[in-house]
Structure 1
Amino acid sequence: MWVDQAQVVYILMVFITTYCAYTDAKNRMIPDNITIPVLLAGVVYHLSLGNGSPFFIKGMIPGFIIWLLALFRPDWIGAGDGKLLIAMGGWLGWLPVCIVILIAYYVALVWSLMKKYFRKQQPSDIPFGVCIFAGLLLYGIPVQFIVERVRLIGS
C-alpha cells in the first residue's frame, strides 16, 4: 500500500504533537526546542518543493492569530500552543489547522464542563496542547477513513 506525502506529514505531526501534549500536561509548557525546529523544517521542506511560500505562509496565519492571543491574554492560552499551531499550519495548510483549532476548542470546552460538573472543580487550568493533540487526531482519523473508502469505491 502506497503512502502519500500528506499522510506522512500528518503522521509526523501526530508524533510531534504527542510529545508536545505530554510536556504540556506534565510541565504546563510546550518547549521551543520542539516547535521552532519543526517550523523551520517546514519552511525548508516547502521551499524545496517550489510551491512553498504561499502554502506555508497561509498555513501559519491561524496559528499566528492564536499566538497573538497568547501574548495579549496569557491567562487564556500559552505562547507554546500558538507556536505549535504555527508550525502545524505550515506543514498541513490553513484549512486543516483551522479545523484542528476548532475541534481543540470543543475538546477544551467538554473537558472544562466535565471538570466543573463531575469533579466540582474550577476549569481554569487545562493544558491546551492536549486539546490540540485530540483535535489533530479527531481531524485526521475520519479524513483517513473517508480517503480509504473513496479509494475502495473508485477501484
Structure 2
Amino acid sequence: MGDVAAGGAAAGVLVWLIALSAFDIRHRRLPNVLTLPGAAVILVAATVVGHGGPALLGATALFAVYVTVHLFSPGSLGAGDVKLAIGLGALTGAYGADVWVVAALGASLMTGALALCRRLQGAGPDVPHGPSMCLAAGTALGLAALA
C-alpha cells in the first residue's frame, strides 16, 4: 500500500474510532450503522493487502470473548460492544497477536479504571465501554507503528 493510501486508511480508521466513541458517550449505545459496515470494510481491506487470515482470526477471537461475557452478564457489556469487537478484533489482528492482546487487555483495563474512579467520586460505576475499546485499539496500532 502506498504512503498516500496508507495515510488515507489511517485517517478513515481514526474518524471511525472517534465517531464510535462520541456516539457511545452521548447515547450509551453503538449503532449497527457504524459497527457492522466498519467491520466489513476492515476485513475486506485486510484481505486486499494480504492480512485477511490474521484479521479474521482477530475478529473471531475478540467476538468470542465479548459474546461470552455478554451472554453471561448482559448488563456489563452491550450488544454494540460485541459487534464492535468484530471490527476492532480484525483491525488489531491484522497487525499481529501482540497488537491484538494490547488492545483487548487495554480496553478492559481502561473501562475498569474509569468505573473505579466514578465509584470513588460517589457516582455509579456505569461507563460506556466502546470509547475504551476504540482508544485501546488506536493506541495499540500507534505503538505498533512506532516499533
For normalisation by structure 1, the TM-score amounts to 0.75
The yes-or-no answer on 1:66 pairing with 2:66 is yes
Give me the whole-angstrom Cα distance separating, in 1, the residues matched to 2:79 and 2:22.
16
Tell me the amino acid that sits aligned with residue 75 of structure 1.
G
- Percent of residue pairs bearing the same amino acid type: 21
Question: Among 112, 115, 125, which residue is 1:109 paired with?
Answer: 112
Which 5+ residue runs of structure 1 have no aligned equivalent? 148-155
The residue aligned with 2:56 is 57
The residue aligned with 2:77 is 77
State the structure with more CA Rg: 1
1:85-109: per-residue Cα shift (whole Å, max 9, x none)?
2112223316223311211111112
1:85-135: per-residue Cα shift (whole Å, max 9, x none)?
211222331622331121111111221121122x21231x11001111221
The residue aligned with 1:134 is 135
> How many residues of Structure 1 are paired with residues of Structure 2 in the alignment?
142
Q: After superposition, where does 1:81-100 map in structure 2 within 5 Å?
A: 81-93=81-93, 95=97, 96-100=99-103
Which 5+ residue runs of structure 2 have no aligned equivalent? none
**CA, structure 1 residues 10+68, in 2 after alignment: closer, same or farther (shift >3 Å)?**
farther
Q: RMSD in angstroms over aligned alpha carbons? A: 2.5
For normalisation by structure 2, the TM-score amounts to 0.79
